[in-house]
Structure 1
Amino acid sequence: MFANYFTIAWRNIIKRPLFSAINIIGLAIGLMSCLLIMLFVRSESGYDTWLPDSERIARLHTAYTMPGRPPFLTVRSAGRVMPALRDYLTNEIEAGVRLVSWGTTILKDGQGFSDGVIFADQDLFNVIDLPLVHGTSASSFNKPNDLLVTEETAIRYFGRTDVVGETLTLCCMGDQPVELAISGVLKDLPENTHLNLSLLVYMDVALFSTFPGVLETWNSVNVFSYFKLREGISLAQTQTRINYWLNNESPYAEQFKEFMGTETDMKVTDGVKLKLMGIEDIYLKARKDAGSMGDFKTLGDEKMVFTFTLVAFLILLIACINFMNLSTARAGQRAKEVAMRKVLGASRQKVATQFLFEATALVFISMLIALVAVEIALPYYNEILNKSIAFDLLKDPQLLGAIFTIVILVGLGAGSYPALVLSRYLPGQILKASKSNDSEGSAKLRSALVVIQFAVSIGLLICTSVVYLQTKHANEIDLGYNKDQKLVLNIGPLQDNRDSLKQELEALPVIDQVVFSSEVPSQDFENNTNFTRPGVDGNEPISELLNYHNMDFGFFETYDVEPVAGRLFDESYGTDIFVPATEEQAGKGGAILNMSAVRKLGFDTPEQAIGVTLRQQLREGTSEITIVGVIPDIYFRSIKFDVRPSIYLLNKARLRVATITYSNAGPVEVRKAIEDIWTKLAPMQPIDLQFLNEMIESQYRQEVAQMRLFSAFAVLAVIVACLGLYGLAAFSAERRTKEIGIRKVMGASVKDIIMLLIWQFSRPVLLANVLAWPVAVWLMLSWLEQFPQRIDLVILLPICIFAAVVSVLIAWLTVGGNAARVAAANPIGALRHE
């Protein structure tokens, strides 16, 4: 029986090569898109589920949401919070660990390597049980300066993995190098983890004595805090207990009353939130909590995964609609075949099975083509996504099973309606009528399916256009400074010799300027503290949280930032230099505000702020800071985040990076000259040098990838829809051959015939626009909300009109060829057509 099904299916495929090719190519494109997106979704899902007891591990995120201030979100927490919660919530928490990411230099045999280490508390393995290939969790991580390395790291430094007992030198903590003894080797972590642990160091609290803002703080958020919950304890239970601690027994409660006043009805949790997130959710869901501070790895985007899953479904739906449309269109031509099969004894079930088998056979052929296409497209796909997705069916039975399931489901889904329609024909009516049985209902259904196809395609076109324009806008917006021809050099190892470094660099003919700062645009370390403006005319003082940056003389001049009031930092004014407060004396110095800070502190005009002294109260003492200038708002971070009220200080103790401007040579020559100077001054330290333009562009890498993928899949959706429209147009032209001949005999011109056929397919395309516009606009308005600086929303209307024009033109071009061919035919031949 199945051999008969196969024979009939094959004969029908080769009998109508045009319709078969359209079905196969359309399904192949849909299946290829589905497979590519399925591979992406699979790579993004299931992160960290491989960890033992992963369902009991959670990380603590912090959010400060004080009234009247923009929320401050981060996936980190303050150094003293984890031990406090661990000791307070003994019934809920089994163990806790802090991880501190530290960029540094590793020395081996007199050679320096730029590497990052992760410091961890001794309870690391009680919370996150990482697999070891050499050593044990009990003996390999139990004393200061114990070092664990991954297999890949061991091979990179030593060329082998059995390296227990070897040493590496960390340079430096403060001014002191630290010798680390390798006590164990970790198995390389799989790709589907948010952790990035190449060098893991036992945390010696004494190493951080010169960095009190890391471990000994309740407010500065610089550590990653993980907890392992006890058996049977849920995240919700633990979160409730954390909230109680915050509001009633934490140090935050007293601080909050002092800050807000004892009369306030607000709770600590209205301003300070400590939120637990399960480790399995971190990769895809922590993005919304991360703010502009990074995680161990670049996080995924749950919305992007959902969006592309939907896109895959829609493209496959369009391909299936093509199949159903063309199958039902051809149903009348196969009516006699169905009638004869039934007369010869075939049941309706067997007829339906025949057509389902044909549909599945076509899907199988399409899947074979799609697999080849995926293999060809995968390297480019990985490049766009910046991933290394593998595609090896022979080693991936799960993927093989998924592909088999897709073939069956798509075959049944695409073939179900044609099978139901064709199998219900009554043989007596068909043979008696001696004509096709294409009902009015089938024609209306085909028109409805064409509307759905083009509505999806038009929606994707609109979304792609908006994503493209927003990405272009992000890259071209005036950031408030000149970002061209600048290199950024991390001067950490030469921080104490920066004057010598500056002299050496500025002596090079290819270098124009060298200025130092704590950070540069695209580097935002979320430094925030309170500054108080004295009360005026009997009014209360105004205290506001401001983001602060530190820089040296010449920073704003280098970036072509002009003051809107007052002046910039000037070496002729010795009072501009910030002198930190000590227990013996108050701090002092000058400051420059941005316009957002001017408004936040209640000044009516920027000129009004000049000369006003702000007070900064820190643990070390009080500082009096005089405003000397006001500059426009500039984007120190991505335009995905709004400009924050910021204050700029001239604190020479906090200068960590150099901005190097060049104009007299090419970037390769400039980079080589800088590297030569660095090697001369710091022969054992690797250089950390980047182009500022590349640093800024990297902030939008994910949006660019989204735009490119959207564009590709939108084009594929349009191609599939056009294939179906072309097939229907060819079928319609063939069915109306005699009608067209009569029209020509009655005096209709070729132009009239072409317009008649084109209008037939223009109506569903125009209706598709009516359906697609509101849905696409609503989706894009929701997407654009994440950007404080976004394209003018008025442009959505011309984008929709553009999509309508493109879709109609595509429909005309697709249908026009067939229409012209049929319209130009000799009417005598048309009248003889059966």
Structure 2
Amino acid sequence: MFKNYLIIAWRNIVKNGVFSAINIFGLAVGLMSCILIMLFVREETGYDDWIKDKDRLVRMHTAVNIPNQPAFLTVRSAGRMMEAIRDYATNEVETGMRLIQWGTTVQHNGEGFAEQITMVDNSFFNVFALPFLHGDIESSFNKPMDLVITEEMATKYFGRTNVLGETISFCCLGGNPITLKVTGVLKDLPDATHLDANFIIYLNPAMFGENDNVLNTWSSLNVYTYFKMREGISVEQLQDRINYWLNNESPMVNMLKERLGDAANGLQVTDTFQLNVMSVPDLHLNAKNDAGNMGDLTPMGDQNMINTFVVVALLILVIACINFMNLSTAKASKRAKEVAMRKVLGASRTQVAFQFLSEAVALVFIALLFALAATEIVLPFYNEIIGKNLQLMLFSDPYLLVSLCLVATAVGIGAGLYPALYLSKYLPGHILKASKSSESQSSAKLRTGLVVGQFATSIILVISTIVVYSQTLYSTSVDVGYQYDNKLVLNIRATGDNLDSLKQELLNLPQVTDVAFSSESPTQDNENNNYFSLVEPNQQGEKLEPLLLNYHHMDYGFFESYGVNLLAGRFFDKNYGTDAITQLPEGHEGMGKASVILNRAAVTKLGFTDVEQIIGKTLVLNDHELTVIGVIPDIHFRSIKFGIRASAFLLDENRFRVANIAFQSNDVSGLMDDIHRIWKQQVPLQPMNLQFLSEMMAAQYRDETTTAQLLLVFSALAILVSCLGLYGLSAFTVERRTKEIGLRKVMGANVSQIVKLLIWQFSKPVALANLIAWPIAMYAMNSWLEEFPYRIEQWYLLPICLLVGLLSLSIAWLTVGGNAARVARKNPVHALRYE
């Protein structure tokens, strides 16, 4: 019997070629969308699932909440926190470890290669039980400066994996070149991990002996801190233990009192300073909430983006299912006699319903084959958009194969259930007596409602796409307060004492107009923050407590090179001779002298409304007195998503990390070659890291751009599937009204009148869909835009909705009008003979 069902199903699919093609195409598009999203979601939600005891691993993040200031958030923590909490929370914590990432250069066979090294405590492999290919934990990682590398790095530098005992030279670690022996080789880590660990070095605290703000600190946040919890302990239990320690027994209790004085009465440490633990499997998607302006070891995911595209894929699939239901119920009259004859010959309603369900499932599996082929074709382009390397390994991944079969079966049942129940309820006597089926009013209303639903869904997607694109364009076009075109950013960490020589060589190039050093360039804000004390009373006569300000180090001429305006005072100038911070000799008594430039937000935060009034005032930072010499506008040093922060700009050449190169040239590739030549002369063993600032600015909005591009693609697919359904439905409606159209022509109606009549019939559900979609889309997009301190005006949503409404009506008119015009042009004699 089942074979008979399949044969009849195939005959009906072939017999109704146009409608079958519409259904198959729509379902294939929906299934392809689901497959693409499924591959993406599975990788994003599977990060670090492969790690042993993953549910017992947590990382500690830091949040600083200063009254009347934006919260400072980071996924890092202070160097002394790990040992303190590990030794205090012994009932909750089995072990802990710190991780520090450092950019360096591997020197091999006379060449330099930029690499990231990962320095960790000796308990690293007790926390992360990574698999060894050569060596083991006991022999490979038991003393400071032991080096473990991945098989990828072993192959890259030695051409083989068993490289135990080989040496690798780095320049530099702790400011000095060093050669380390390879003591272990790890298997390559999966792509789906937040870890970025190709060179793992047993951390030697002596390397940072003179730099207390790395390890020996309670406040400078430079390390990643991990804990392995004991069996049966939850994240919440460890969090409660940490909070108790912070508020009662940590050094931060006294630090709070010293910082705030009497204002600290009644406050707990956690009111202003928090250490939050997060499960390692949750880091990829949720660490973004704790990261603030800082990045993570690897690019972070976005749970909201995943949720959005899961919903989008499901909506496209629902639209395709609606097409199937509409066309199946609309074609009911063509199969009424078939149903009647089946029942007369003894078929039960269950058997008839099963026949139609089997047809639906068969149709979906045919669509699945097309969807898999389409997925293979579009997957490279999809990977390019999302920056992944997803693969459809269907036969080597039984979980995926079974999942797709279950999805296809569920879609077939879901799409075919109502048509099966609707068609199987026909009464043989009524059908055979009338020689036709009569469509109930409720069925027609349901079909209209489904059309409204699918167009409303498509309209919401299109409005969302336009809003996301508009916001992305707005973000990239906002005046950031400086000129970033024709700028190159050169990493100069490895140049040592060659800065002056490098600068002069670059300035000698005819295309280069200026070179200015800085601690970071725009987009590279490393979230340097410190407390600055205003010596004098502010403009309101208040004596302020020390204020936390963001700070950067800029060279002479930096602001001039970037075209930054001056609101008051002056820029750094060599002629004054007192602007730069100098290292104070040991035993020096008294404070050093230097200058500082503030942005408008910092001036306001210090209590000055008139920028001229703060010129000449003194700020104290550590062991230096800083004279305010200038005020600049609030420039966006980072993406406008992060808003403006109160910032101070200093001049300490020991903190310079990048060279900002301004140029004027039509031969950009030639300029790059010239810079590369100079670099090889000045720093022969170091790889050059040179980027266009404009590209770095655009990269800040990569997530929004990716979202917009994917929304555009999926919205176009949703519109296409909806239009196919409308085309099929209108074709059937025109077919059913063929005689009516013939009579109208006989009675004197022309083609345009008939087309208008049918267009009006289908315009009403599309217009209703707009009225339903607009408020939903406006609410959703307003909520999304709230994430941006600078965003498009809300009233823009209204013209966007109107535009999309006209677009949807135009598409509906073209779709329906084409069918109507084709039939209306026929000779009425043929129409009247139509059966």
SS in 1 for 2:126: helix
Q: Is the counterpart of residue 521 in structure 1 residue 522 in structure 2?
A: yes
**2:59 aligns to what?**
59
Report the Cα distance in structure 1 between the residues aligned to 2:816 and 2:281, rounded to whole angstroms.
51
TM-score when scaled to structure 1? 0.98
Amino acid of the residue matched to residue 830 of structure 1?
A
SS in 2 for 1:591: strand
Deviation at 1:179, TM superposition (A): 2.0
Amino acid of the residue matched to residue 212 of structure 1?
D
Deviation at 1:66, TM superposition (A): 1.2
Report the Cα distance in structure 2 between the residues aligned to 1:538 and 1:593, rounded to whole angstroms.
20
Deviation at 1:830, TM superposition (A): 2.4
Q: 1:594 aligned to 599, 603, 610, which one?
A: 599
SS in 2 for 1:509: coil
Task: Map Cα deviations across residues 685-705 of structure 1 (whole Å, 9 max, x no partner).
Answer: 111111111111111112111
Alignment of 1:257-272 (within 5 A): 257-263=257-263, 264-272=265-273
Deviation at 1:8, TM superposition (A): 1.2
Deviation at 1:254, TM superposition (A): 1.0
Report the Cα distance in structure 2 between the residues aligned to 1:189 and 1:273, rounded to whole angstroms.
32
Choose 719-728 or 562-571, whichever is displaced more: 562-571
Deviation at 1:670, TM superposition (A): 1.0
CA contact (8 A) 1:580 1:588 kept: no
SS in 2 for 1:215: coil
Task: Map Cα deviations across residues 791-821 of structure 1 (whole Å, 9 max, x no partner).
Answer: 1221111111111111110100110101112
Amino acid of the residue matched to residue 573 of structure 2?
D
Deviation at 1:665, TM superposition (A): 4.3
Task: Map Cα deviations across residues 105-163 of structure 1 (whole Å, 9 max, x no partner).
Answer: 12234432211100000011111111101111112111111000000011111111101
Amino acid of the residue matched to residue 78 of structure 1?
A
**2:406 aligns to what?**
405
Amino acid of the residue matched to residue 539 of structure 1?
E
**1:154 aligns to what?**
154
Deviation at 1:174, TM superposition (A): 3.8
**1:183 aligns to what?**
183
Task: Map Cα deviations across residues 745-769 of structure 1 (whole Å, 9 max, x no partner).
Answer: 3333322211110011111111111
Alignment of 1:125-164 (within 5 A): 125-164=125-164
Cα RMSD (Å) of the superposition?
A: 1.3
Choose 660-669 or 547-556, whichever is displaced more: 660-669
Alignment of 1:566-581 (within 5 A): 566-579=569-582
CA contact (8 A) 2:260 2:545 kept: no
Report the Cα distance in structure 2 between the residues aligned to 1:364 and 1:664, rounded to whole angstroms.
58
Report the Cα distance in structure 1 between the residues aligned to 2:495 and 2:393, rounded to whole angstroms.
48
Deviation at 1:255, TM superposition (A): 1.1
**1:240 aligns to what?**
240
CA contact (8 A) 2:570 2:630 kept: yes
Deviation at 1:538, TM superposition (A): 5.0
Report the Cα distance in structure 1 between the residues aligned to 2:496 and 2:310, rounded to whole angstroms.
49
**1:761 aligns to what?**
762
Report the Cα distance in structure 2 between the residues aligned to 1:455 and 1:268, rounded to whole angstroms.
51
Task: Map Cα deviations across residues 221-251 of structure 1 (whole Å, 9 max, x no partner).
Answer: 1110000001111110110010011111111
Q: Is the counterpart of residue 613 in structure 1 residue 618 in structure 2?
A: yes
**1:548 aligns to what?**
551
**1:293 aligns to what?**
294
**2:20 aligns to what?**
20
Report the Cα distance in structure 1 between the residues aligned to 2:320 and 2:256, rounded to whole angstroms.
59
Ranges in structure 2 where 5+ consecutive residues have no aligned partner: none
Report the Cα distance in structure 2 between the residues aligned to 1:94 and 1:370, rounded to whole angstroms.
49
**1:624 aligns to what?**
625
CA contact (8 A) 2:523 2:697 kept: yes
Aligned length: 830
CA contact (8 A) 2:60 2:276 kept: yes
Deviation at 1:270, TM superposition (A): 1.2
Choose 173-182 or 366-375, whichever is displaced more: 173-182
Report the Cα distance in structure 2 between the residues aligned to 1:676 and 1:43, rounded to whole angstroms.
42
Closer, same or farther: CA 109–828 of 1 in aligned 2, 3 Å? closer
Amino acid of the residue matched to residue 577 of structure 1?
A
Amino acid of the residue matched to residue 597 of structure 1?
A
Report the Cα distance in structure 1 between the residues aligned to 2:173 and 2:15, rounded to whole angstroms.
78
CA contact (8 A) 1:517 1:658 kept: yes
**1:72 aligns to what?**
72
**1:451 aligns to what?**
452
Deviation at 1:540, TM superposition (A): 2.4
Amino acid of the residue matched to residue 119 of structure 2?
F
Alignment of 1:156-555 (within 5 A): 156-263=156-263, 264-533=265-534, 534-536=536-538, 539-555=542-558
SS in 2 for 1:212: coil
Alignment of 1:793-808 (within 5 A): 793-808=794-809
Closer, same or farther: CA 504–45 of 1 in aligned 2, 3 Å? same
CA contact (8 A) 1:335 1:437 kept: no
Report the Cα distance in structure 1 between the residues aligned to 2:495 and 2:703, rounded to whole angstroms.
34
CA contact (8 A) 1:580 1:586 kept: no
SS in 2 for 1:52: coil
Alignment of 1:555-566 (within 5 A): 555-566=558-569
Report the Cα distance in structure 2 between the residues aligned to 1:730 and 1:5, rounded to whole angstroms.
28
CA contact (8 A) 1:495 1:656 kept: no
Deviation at 1:493, TM superposition (A): 1.6
Deviation at 1:60, TM superposition (A): 0.3
SS in 1 for 2:578: helix
CA contact (8 A) 1:495 1:655 kept: no
CA contact (8 A) 1:542 1:601 kept: no
Report the Cα distance in structure 2 between the residues aligned to 1:332 and 1:322, rounded to whole angstroms.
17
Amino acid of the residue matched to residue 607 of structure 1?
E
Deviation at 1:539, TM superposition (A): 2.6
Deviation at 1:299, TM superposition (A): 0.8
SS in 1 for 2:574: coil
Task: Map Cα deviations across residues 511-563 of structure 1 (whole Å, 9 max, x no partner).
Answer: 22111010100100100111122225753225321100001100001101120
Deviation at 1:564, TM superposition (A): 1.3
Task: Map Cα deviations across residues 354-409 of structure 1 (whole Å, 9 max, x no partner).
Answer: 00011011111111111110000000000101110011212111111111111111
Deviation at 1:579, TM superposition (A): 3.2
Choose 116-125 or 631-640, whichever is displaced more: 631-640
Choose 65-74 or 749-758, whichever is displaced more: 749-758
Report the Cα distance in structure 2 between the residues aligned to 1:159 and 1:27, rounded to whole angstroms.
49
Deviation at 1:306, TM superposition (A): 0.8
Amino acid of the residue matched to residue 594 of structure 2?
G
Amino acid of the residue matched to residue 593 of structure 1?
L
**1:733 aligns to what?**
734
Amino acid of the residue matched to residue 240 of structure 1?
D
CA contact (8 A) 1:535 1:542 kept: no
SS in 1 for 2:225: strand
Report the Cα distance in structure 1 between the residues aligned to 2:91 and 2:698, rounded to whole angstroms.
47
Choose 264-273 or 381-390, whichever is displaced more: 264-273
**1:585 aligns to what?**
590
Deviation at 1:580, TM superposition (A): 5.2
Task: Map Cα deviations across residues 452-507 of structure 1 (whole Å, 9 max, x no partner).
Answer: 10011000000000111111112221111111111111111214220111111111
Report the Cα distance in structure 2 between the residues aligned to 1:724 and 1:695, rounded to whole angstroms.
44
Deviation at 1:826, TM superposition (A): 2.6
**1:681 aligns to what?**
682
CA contact (8 A) 1:174 1:210 kept: no
Report the Cα distance in structure 1 between the residues aligned to 2:544 and 2:381, rounded to whole angstroms.
58
SS in 2 for 1:262: helix
CA contact (8 A) 2:498 2:682 kept: no
SS in 2 for 1:467: helix
Identical residues among aligned pairs (%): 57
